[in-house]
Chains A and B, each alone.
Chain A
């Protein structure tokens, strides 16, 4: 279990490096390529999340990717902890 936490922490630390590298090659997903080829354009919805695109307002995008990673992992593990308590309860 301890090793798993170390792995998760290292993934979060790596997040900004990968974000930078993906920017270098120009980020596009196959789904976006498919949209382009079929002539579809994203007319985005009304809801963009609390931290849209893993960014926090006013914070360097690479740093905020890291913070977003921490927040996300805490939420998931928090839910698991609550579920466990609940089932014990």
Chain B
């Protein structure tokens, strides 16, 4: 789902930089008072998500996709720290490994570090009182699905895609709707594992 250089019209690229930049600034403000002992945890979650994103799950039929981890970051770290962890992963992928274009970095952060994290966190918060497993599965699934739809709109509004929003949005939504099942299962497994260790893992606002 990493948009490369050359896909987005310049104004979309800049708009997404501005939106993402504002949300990053707000998130930094929100986590300012964070307990410094939690910073290594944020680093470890970010590193784990980076490593997990490197694994491409082969899907018979010629598609493969990787875990994104936005919802997981939001659930484990709270939405603001989770958003910043995902931003660091996506920025690293872009600057060091050329995964996702620099002109599209704002858009990629918006899709995977903002939409996936906040939507995933919201779904989890709403449903966890019923069942943590179902809540985390749906958080992962909804997070990646909405991120894909956001991506579909961004490329669909661009001239190189001939403004074919009628194609880009459905293609992204259908594929990632299916691939989101893998995202949901991994999110559920990790959250279930972590909660089994700490009997009370509430999704935390950091600072909590």
Contact = CB atoms under 8 A, between A and B. Distances in A.
A76 B168 contact: no
14 contacts: A4-B45, A8-B44, A25-B61, A31-B151, A34-B168, A38-B161, A49-B97, A69-B50, A72-B54, A75-B96, A76-B50, A76-B89, A77-B40, A87-B36
Contacts of A40: 7, 155, 158, 160-162
B58 A34 contact: no
B92 interface: yes
Interface string A25-52: 1111111011101111111111111111
A63 interface: no
Contacts of B51: 8, 11-12, 15, 69, 72-73
A89 to B, nearest CB: 10
Contacts of B40: 1, 77, 80-81, 84
A52 B15 CA distance: 26
A19 B64 CA distance: 10
Contacts of B5: 42, 44-47
A30 B148 contact: yes
Contact of A54 (B3, B97, B148, B167): B97
Contact of B42 (A27, A44, A75, A80): A80
B22 interface: no
Contacts of B59: 25
Contacts of A7: 48
Interface residues of B, number: 63
B52 to A, nearest CB: 6
Contact of B63 (A33, A65, A71, A76): A33
Contacts of A76: 43, 46-47, 50, 88-89, 92
Contacts of B63: 25, 28-30, 33
Contacts of B156: 38
A71 B102 CA distance: 20
**Contact size range, A:** 35 or more
Interface string B127-138: 000000000000
B4 A34 contact: no
A70 to B, nearest CB: 9
Given A29-B65, A38-B156, A81-B43, 15 more contacts: A8-B44, A30-B172, A31-B1, A33-B63, A38-B161, A42-B6, A45-B6, A45-B101, A46-B5, A47-B5, A53-B98, A68-B54, A72-B93, A77-B43, A80-B44
Interface string B161-186: 11010011001100110010000000
A73 B48 CA distance: 8
A52 B97 contact: yes
B167 A37 contact: yes
